[in-house]
Structure 1
């Protein structure tokens, strides 16, 4: 919005008619001397105008003092006083010219105020008897001999000069007068701004499931003016949380033009997969921005473990077990280790692949196990006893769930039994008792169960008794002893007594059986006489 104040010299015509009512002083000699009169420029005579001095305006900037050119007359606009003038108008002309002699005179306008003035117009009334040949700048002809010069804007201290050229046509005096007008703009600048938001989001392309996802968000006002009440939000995709929440919010406050604020947080993935999302920013004035989408792939090694046991074998033999660990995940299994527990009752023999045994555990340091990679290890033990050989193994790696496997083999022993039946005297009198000694021993590698021994005698011999703790059972011409279970190496001895009732050679037949062995027979002969 502009308000203009136009001022002319109409009210000060007597003052503004520069050179018209002034007494002149000549300087020097020569054909063109310039008037240096108008003493009011430097030392204005006391007057009613001078009597009342206007109060100084405190807010007005200091005015530049005009430079008065010798051979000139001038006046201050619009008041005639320097102290509150806006323009200083000078006329510069030769002191004397000859008829027909070409000469120049000049009009100079200077802004002596502290503000710029617009539309500065000098109206020059060309004198009678003066033939103008030209002007610089070129003026605009008006009614009669009026010539107008629009000097446009004059900034504080700025001057512009008009030069008019011509010659006097008659003897006498050449009189010319000029008036000045201008406008003072009253202006106002209202800044028009347009804040704008941009937002960026950064997150790693890939992380392990056991690691946090570091996220960085930067919001920037890349417009002009202040972006007020800036809010940042990040609605995390399903499966991601930050501090237990699925949404992250930040208050960025106000952002000046070009200002940025950075926010960081850590997100946690509940499962493997790719997570895509954007961050958003809003501000007063319906400002909004959305970041480019970030994609983070959450990966995890997945271990599998298989254990293979040898078939059933004999005791005192070596048994070799096989363990295979694989990574079926989508990330390298770092720091992979495998351990195996030795079967109870066995002795460690060896392990391949750098396996070491400590106590009853064999361990392998696998290191990094690549995606879809497998490693197989074996270890051997010796079974000293018969029975089941259960074995187990486990595997672990960074960020991978531990896995385990187990299997069982069996060691069996060879059964064997030893028996014996003997007496001391081979010839016995009829009617006397005769003692037989029996022995049974487990000479095998496994328990012998349900061990039993039965004796049958020829006619003429009769069973009398035994010292076996469990006794014996005589039935149907046969005597039976139930011995029970014999451990490997265990031996049992006992005696039984028979009596001969007639003369002759008689045979005693002993048969020993068990669940694990075939029937074993021992015969002993005795000769009864009278």
Structure 2
């Protein structure tokens, strides 16, 4: 852009002073400050760094210095001084000065470039920032009166723009666990990093999920947007996924940008497993009251994942006496009571066995419901039962009331049965066998007797409670000398073999 600056002065020949006919014009150079650009706006091109508008004030200053008066016919000097008021270099600087008809230029320093129609031109060329050039002109005037002379300066003002060439470079990293259980949510994190030198704009992150993985809303693809990421900046995003089945799930995420292309993440693989419990409980089929009963519980993990925080609970009815439990099993007396084992983690295809010992002081069926549960595993249960019975421990005692016995006299045998057991004896029957040296006379007791030959049979006693006793008597007569044996046989429903007791009695003859 060519800029012109005009300076006019008047010379008085002889007694005429040199005055400026026109005020000096100053051309301003305006520098517009760069606004903070919107890094991802379509118009984010850098504005011109330096702007020289048409208004040239405060850019170039032109000064003309001449004597106040000159003498006709005598040489005189005047000077032209051009100054660059800016810090920028301007080019093609040319100073021009109109030469009146009654003035003759005899020489100048530097030499003028040309004279056209009474106008002298000096080519300054480039003028550095804040630089100054001086032109000295020697002239001679003729005649008298006022002489008017105007000078001007022209120059080229460049319009410059500074642009920064940048290149955004995106990287995306996907972070996911290598293992997860089917009931747990799977945390996934995406880290998007700009390793380039410029802003990455309008980013979209997508991760097509494999079949069997969904987000919280049931979508099979992860997708989200980012407005921009600056140089050397990272942004993180997290999401929770759910597995609808077990298996190994692999996928990659992609980040796409409007001004930096696409980038693919690393491949992540997550194996989703599931524990599955199987329980077995065993106990003796039959046990007597007050005796120890051992229950054994085995829990096996038949699934594909670890069974963490596995807990086994055995419920027992009221009335039991707890003895011991393995593996720090803890007994609590809440109704019903229970024994609890915290067995920790059971790996796939492994098992854990625990036992407990209890006593039951009642007759009947002792049933224990046993359960097992673990994190992510459904509860399983089984029952084990034991038939608890009492035992009628029958103590049989036989004593004679008179020993020895003279022939012809009588003696009595007292038969006492005491139930020392824990339950009633049923259908207790007594049978007595007399030797040939004795004769049955009579009997007493809770049941009646009948005699057939030397055998006395009492009718069965239907029940004898635990801790109770009954007594029968048999009265006999001594018939002949003998070291005799009185035999008693006792049977009942619970005795697999008869109880036999013998009492010896000496039968003698007085001589």
Q: 2:57 aligns with which of 53, 56, 64?
A: 64
Q: CA distance change for structure 1 residues 252 and 246 in 2, over 3 Å: closer, same or farther?
A: closer
Residue correspondence of structure 1 range 199-238 to structure 2 within 5 A = 199=172, 201=174, 212-217=185-190, 227-228=201-202, 230-237=203-210
Q: Once the two structures are superposed, what CA deviation does each residue of 1:194-219 show, in whole Å capped at 9, x if it has no partner?
A: 77765555667887776544445466
Q: CA deviation at 1:109?
A: 7.7
Using the alignment, how far apart are the partners of 1:444 and 1:406 within structure 2? 30
Q: What pairs with 1:109-120 in structure 2 (closer than 5 Å)?
A: 119-120=92-93
Written as runs of structure 1 = structure 2, the 5 A alignment for 1:149-188 is 149=123, 151=125, 161-163=132-134
Q: Report 1:343-354 matches (<5 A).
A: 346-349=320-323
- SS at the partner of 2:12? coil
Q: 1:275 to 1:172 in 2, by over 3 A?
A: farther
- Kindly tell me the number of residue pairs found equivalent between the two proteins: 448
- Matching residue within 480, 485, 491 for 1:513: 491
Return closer, same or farther for 1:283/1:381 CA change in 2, 3 Å cut-off.
same
| Residues 93, 104 of structure 1: 8 Å contact kept | no
Q: Which runs of 5+ in 1 are unaligned?
A: 10-14, 30-34, 44-59, 73-91, 141-145, 430-434
Match of 2:12 in 1: 25
SS of 2:239's equivalent in the other structure is strand
1:265-319 deviation line (CA, Å, top 9, x unaligned): 3334568888664433335579434445567787999999998979998765667
SS at match of 1:233: strand
Distance 1:159 1:28 in 2: 37
Matched with 1:281 is 255
CA separation in 1, counterparts of 2:141 and 2:272? 108
Shift of 1:242: 2.4
How do residues 415-494 of structure 1 correspond to structure 2 at under 5 angstroms?
A: 415-418=393-396, 440-444=417-421, 451-454=428-431, 481=459, 488-489=466-467
State the partner residue of 1:52: none
Q: CA deviation at 1:185?
A: 7.5
Q: Evaluate the alpha carbon distance shift between residue 374 and residue 122 of structure 1 in structure 2; reply closer, same or farther with a 3 A threshold.
A: farther
Length-normalised TM-score, structure 2: 0.51
Contact 2:447–2:460 under 8 Å retained in 1: no
User: 2:69 & 2:181 partners in 1: Cα distance?
Assistant: 98
Pairing 1:243-254 to 2, within 5 Å after superposition? 243=216, 245=218, 247-252=220-225, 254=227
Q: Is the 8 A contact 1:456 1:509 kept in 2?
A: yes
Matching residue of 1:39: 21
C-alpha displacement of 1:133? 7.3
Tell me the CA shift for residue 70 of structure 1. 4.5
> Cα RMSD over matched residues?
7.4
Of 357, 361, 365, 2:338 maps to 361
- Shift of the alpha carbon at 1:511? 3.5
Alignment partner of 1:265 is 2:239: yes
Q: Give the 3 Å change call, closer, same or farther, for CA 184–108 of structure 1 in structure 2.
A: closer
- Higher mean displacement: 195-204 or 472-481: 472-481
Q: 1:246 to 1:451 in 2, by over 3 A?
A: farther
Q: For 1:321-380, what per-residue CA distance to the aligned partner results, in whole angstroms no more than 9, with x for missing partners? A: 78899999988956x7665555876423567887664324345678x7799999998865
1:116-144: CA deviation from partner (whole Å, max 9, x where unpaired): 987555689999996777679xx89xxxx
TM-score (structure 1 length as normaliser): 0.50
Give distance in 1, aligned partners of 2:10 and 2:160. Answer: 42
* Cα contact 2:15–2:69 (8 A) shared by 1: no
After TM superposition, give the deviation of residue 71 of structure 1 in Å: 1.9
Is the 1:202–1:215 Cα contact (8 Å) retained in structure 2?
yes
- Against the structure 1 CA distance between its residues 181 and 131, is the aligned structure 2 distance closer, same or farther, given a 3 Å change threshold? closer
The structure with more strand, counted as a fraction of residues = 2
Distance 1:482 1:153, change over 3 A: farther
Q: 1:23 to 1:495 in 2, by over 3 A?
A: closer
In structure 2, C-alpha distance between the alignment counterparts of 1:209 and 1:96, rounded to whole Å: 113
Query: Does structure 2 conserve the Cα–Cα contact (< 8 Å) formed by 1:215 and 1:266?
Result: yes
Q: Which residue of 1 aligns with 2:40?
A: none
> CA–CA distance in 1 between the matches of 2:504 and 2:311?
67
The answer on whether the counterparts of 1:235 and 1:279 sit within 8 Å (CA) in structure 2 is: yes
CA distance change for structure 1 residues 380 and 225 in 2, over 3 Å: closer, same or farther?
closer
Q: 1: distance between equivalents of 2:451 and 2:78?
A: 171
Change (3 A) 1:520 1:484: farther
> Shift of residue 418 of structure 1?
2.0
